[in-house]
Amino acid sequence: MSSKGMYQPVAEKLARRETVVLDGAIGTEILRRNVTWADHQLASQPEFVRGIHEDYIRAGADVISTNSFQLCRRALYNHFRDAAHRRQIGATDLDERANRLLAESVRLAIEARERAAAGRPVAVAAAVTTLEWCFRPDLAPSAEQARDEYREILEVVKEAGADLVLLETVNSIAEARVALEVAKSLGMTCWVAFVPDERGRLFTGEEFQHAAATLEPRGVDAILLNCAPPEDITAGMAQLAPHAHVPIGAYAHIGRFDPPEWLFTDEYPPAKYRDAAARWKQMGSRILGGCCGTTPEHIAALGELR
Amino acid sequence: MYDLIRSRLQTREPVLLDGALGTELVRRGVRWRKHGLLTDAPAIERLHGEYLAAGADVLRTNTFQLNPRIYLNVFRNREHMRHIGAPELEGLTPRLLRTSVQVARQARAKAGADGCAVIAGVLSPLEHCFRPDLAPSADQARGEQGALARVFAEEKVDFLLLESMNTIGEAAAALAAGRATGLPVWASFVLGPEGELLSREPLAEAVAEMERGGADAVLVNCVPPEHITQALEKLGRCCSLPIGGFAHVGRFSPPSWKFEFFPQFIETDQWPAERYLAEAKRWRERGATILGGCCGTRPAHIAALRAWLGAGTRSAEA
């Protein structure tokens, strides 16, 4: 089936107002299985990463997202003063490493689908995060700079065969807009997931009403909320749902950020997480999944909300 | 204890530092969370022990780039850290610093090196060591470096080593904060491809500032071995204090996601111990009194240096 074809069943479900199940965490799931996430494990342990995708597919995910959180050339370059310094002491593959790993992340998700989907339609979403740190909108690059970098990233994942782009943990309307415009110029389906704060606003203080008003005319295919505790997702949903005209969705994190890793807690076992998601569904969410700390068991529980 | 080192520096007898901790721990499979101090203390202690067995006179604490900012920086702000972060993140750094000293101390006791090997509390830039553009103001640096230095002083390290300092301003602030604890302070700078500080400030100016501020020694580190040689040439001409260097080997391979400095160097086999020693001999010829190894080096590199240098503090004690 062509790339467009794989998104088609998802689009149809959304049009019929059915629930679409998104996968759960990849990065923290790698840690939970007792492997370090320092290099995404895309090159060193590809079968292991693919295995997690397969587990999410078997748990019932309609959309799986690639293991590419925060993976971009800028993230590698940020560790050096400048190009001269990078050439002096840096690994020699840093100009092309991020794009190579991005393509690999898409390839592994597609492979997982081939091995585990058993004919069921599963769409592969290329997970693309803010160019700078997801929780630090103050560090965001200029729109002009961001446009070039998003073009580079999105061209790679499109070429690699992703069915859609999932811009996630986005912290400002401006960056979402730039990335969405690039995705649309490439003819890609694009979901945008924002991180909400405790008051249900963006980290910039902007409101989701304005986010929807900015992104909808530019062709966004869905707007979601992610990477915040369930209560904050609910707060954000209360702001977003009344103003959105496109499908909306949510995937919360559970547990605690313990940089550079994750602290797993028993606060939200699968059934309780499902109940939180049921509330988001009630508020209008049609896409439900899990962010950091969630597991295939959580995603399997979401299947009960279909 | 520091007197032993001081007297060697005064007579320009060589002092041998240890080699890399972070890169070697990561190479050995230690997961780089909280510098391994909470989860892999035995591996850290073992590595300290191997450096002592290799002949190091100085053990450095496993605290490079360990300060509250590395945790705070990945949150929106302090409130966000409290809201979604693990409990105890706020008080974590002093606890880790204390553990780092205790682990080094235990290794030294097990090696029977009490009374000869000394422990250096490692301070480093508060922001990423390779990003001088992010350096805090002198006031901020003095306050925050002071808080770290006081923990080391309470834990009774023998002296403080400012490592991979990338601006004169932060080095001067950290030196002042360190001296305020009463401990001796050595200052070591990371250089850029131009051969000056990574900030492009002249090395000679940094030296003058360290001399004024009361440093006991000035070093250069975290650049390739040949670049250490070039820098020592310059340092030998402009520095009245004891000088030294410790190079990294291989190439820095940053993690494919954004976080603080991550100690991963690849292609380190380009610099086996013998080749490292050959270059280090040039450092000595240029007046270096203090030698050691930075990222990518291993106990074998320190053992090679020791074999060439001859007896260290331990024989002095005997």
State mean pLDDT over B69-97: 96
How big is the CA angle at B220 (ends B219 and B225), to the nearest 5 degrees?
A: 130
Residue among B74, B128, B251 minimizing CB distance to A89: B251
State residue B260's pLDDT score: 83
The rounded distance, in Å, linking the Cα atoms of B191 and B245 is 11
Token duo for residue A280: 């988001």
Report yes or no: B77 and A133 within 8 Å, Cβ to Cβ.
no
Confidence of residue B311 (pLDDT cuts 50, 70, 90): confident
The arithmetic mean of pLDDT across residues B96-101, rounded, is 98
Mean pLDDT, rounded, of chain B: 96
Question: Which residues of chain B make contact with A70, given a CB cutoff of 8 A?
Answer: 257-258
Q: What pTM was computed for the model?
A: 0.95
Helix, strand, coil content of chain A in percent (nearest 5) = 50, 15, 35
* Residues of chain A positioned with their CB less than 8 A from the CB of B255: 38-39
* Residue pLDDT, tens place only, B239-258: 999 999 999 999 999 988 77
Q: How far is A175 from chain B (nearest CA, A)?
A: 16
Q: Which residues of A touch B193 (CB under 8 A)?
A: 84-85, 87-88
What residue of B is the nearest CA neighbor of A36?
B31
**Residue A34 CB contacts under 8 Å (≥ 6 apart), including other chains:** none
B10-53 pLDDT per residue, tens: 998 999 999 999 999 999 999 999 999 999 999 999 999 999 99
Measure in Å the smallest separation between the Cα of B275 and chain A Cα atoms.
Answer: 18
Task: Tell me if chain A has a CB within 8 Å of the CB of B89.
Answer: yes
Instruction: Write out pLDDT tens, residues A122-162.
Output: 999 999 999 999 999 999 999 999 999 999 999 999 999 99
**3-state class (DSSP) for residue A77:** helix
- Residues facing residue A127 across a β-bridge: A166
Residue A2: predicted pLDDT: 46
Q: Cβ contact (<8 Å) for A76 and B256? A: yes
Mean pLDDT of B59-68: 98
Q: What is the DSSP track for A259-300?
A: TTEEE--SSS-HHHHHHHHHHHHHTTEEEEEE-TT--HHHHH
pLDDT for the residue numbered A197: 97
Residues of B in contact with A136 (CB under 8 A): 73-74, 76
Q: How far apart are CA B292 and CA B107, in angstroms?
A: 18
Q: In the predicted model, is pLDDT for residue B318 greater than 80?
A: no
Asked if B125 is an interface residue toward chain A (Cβ–Cβ < 8 A), one would say no
Q: How many CB atoms lie within 10 A of CB A33?
A: 12
| CB of A10 closer than 8 Å to CB of A121 | yes
Chain B residue at shortest CA distance from A31: B31
Residue A243 has pLDDT above 60, yes or no: yes
Closest to B178 (Cα-Cα) out of B136, B149, B140, B154: B149
CA nearest to A131, candidates A68, A55, A43: A68
- DSSP assignment letter at B287: T
**Contacts across the A-B interface (CB distance below 8 Å):** 124
- What's the gap in Å between the CA of B71 and the closest CA on chain A? 6
pLDDT of A184 > 50? The answer is yes
Q: Please report residues of B whose CB lies closer than 8 A to that of A46.
A: none
User: How far is it, in rounded angstroms, from Cα B57 to Cα B303?
Assistant: 11
pLDDT of residue A71: 95
Q: What is the pLDDT of residues B188-238, one digit of tens each?
A: 999 999 999 999 999 999 999 999 999 999 999 999 999 999 999 999 999
What pLDDT score was predicted for residue B316?
Answer: 47
Give the per-residue pLDDT at B85: 97
